[in-house]
Amino acid sequence: MYELLRTSVLSLWANKTRSLLTMLGVVIGVAAVIAMIAIGNGANRQMSEMMSGLGTNMIFIRAGAPRTGGVRQSAGSGARLTLDDIRAIERECWAVGAVAPQVSTPSQIICENQNWMTQVIGSTPGFFTIRNYAPQSGRLLDEEDERAASKVCVIGSTVAFELFGGLDPVGRSIRIRRIPFEVVGVLAPKGESGMGQDQDDLIVVPITTAQRRLVRSQIAGSIGAAFVQARDASMIDSAIAEMRALLRQRHRLSDDEDDDFILSNMTQMVESMQKSTQIMTLLLGVVASISLLVGGIGIMNIMLVSVTERTREIGIRMAVGARARDIRSQFLLEAVLLSMTGGIFGILLGALASFAVTHFLKWPTSVSGGAVALAAGFSCCVGIFFGLYPAWKASLLRPIDALRFD
């Protein structure tokens, strides 16, 4: 076996340029497979992080206009969700553990000679629990802030850095739409969400303050959306049913009218996105595998040329005692060596491409051991499959005919 391996390596080394060009198709194919799977794995990991960040028992409510004559009206033409609706949900829906209504508006924030554009969210103290925010310094908003519609705010770490640099923002004043607000706390960093959004680039104020001073609405006390946390993941369906029945009753909707609100199970939404990502990864992997098959065809083509060029060599080896299976094994091993070597370089190139995507495009990728094993196994199978015919053809040569070949 050692002698067979040495002979195959020397034969390939004698035609280095041809061997390198032959491997190129396999290198590109394997690199494409590795990169596509790594990008898909990164997307799946983002979705998993998003789901863990939201929790497994999260429900999202937003206003949705009723249908009129089969056409859905615009969001402001009848659809409404009010703070009283949310308080009724807290009181009457047993399966609901916590509710965080919110209104939001992009605003320019000014602090002395610094300014920053960010999202200002008006919500209740439950917002921090439901969205998994913890204080880094200072305190969070409380019920007294909400009752008094206080001009206080809690800022994310990105906003704190942009406005205050390394200084402690707690106790200092910022202006939101020319209205002064006191910073009472800074949120601990959370980083980017699964959708690539900076979760630390926000300011949270009491929802009553936001409704009175920052967000103008046609309907008094209306809100844009709310996050709801069921008491347990197993109670999500019960919570949705209770909220739907309560809101339909409060909005005086008849049985033949559609809901004028939308309830979404966040876990199902994320799982659906994960499935879509997995299907897309599979399709991209299949497309990338086509280039690997093209590389295999290139190997077979070159091996057939090699058989023709080395016909006299084959005849001499058979004349001195080499058997047909020895010839077949050598040519098959050469094809596998070409494919496997190309696979190794392809894995390295694919990992490098994945790193480049993460570094330059800021898209997380993950090169898994399973993807590497799959690519290595596939490249080996390509070498065997496309090397069989040339090896078989070489083993069928008759020594006397091979020696007479010119």
Q: What pLDDT is attached to residue 361?
A: 81
Amino acid 267: pLDDT: 74
Give residue for tokens 């070498």.
383
pLDDT on residue 53: 60
Q: Name the least confident of 96-105, 214-223, 363-372.
A: 214-223
Distance CA 182, CA 172 (A): 6
At residue 56, the pLDDT reads 61
Q: How far apart are CA 387 and CA 304, in angstroms?
A: 9
pLDDT at 39: 87
Averaged pLDDT for residues 275-302:
84
- Amino acid at the residue 350: G
Q: Going by C-beta distance under 8 Å and a sequence separation of 6 or more, which residues neighbour residue 85?
A: 247, 250
Q: Is the pLDDT of residue 74 over 50?
A: no
CA distance 319 to 285: 47
pTM over 0.85: no
What's the Rg (C-alpha) of the chain? Answer: 33
Give the single-character DSSP code of 235: G
In the prediction, which pLDDT does 201 show? 95
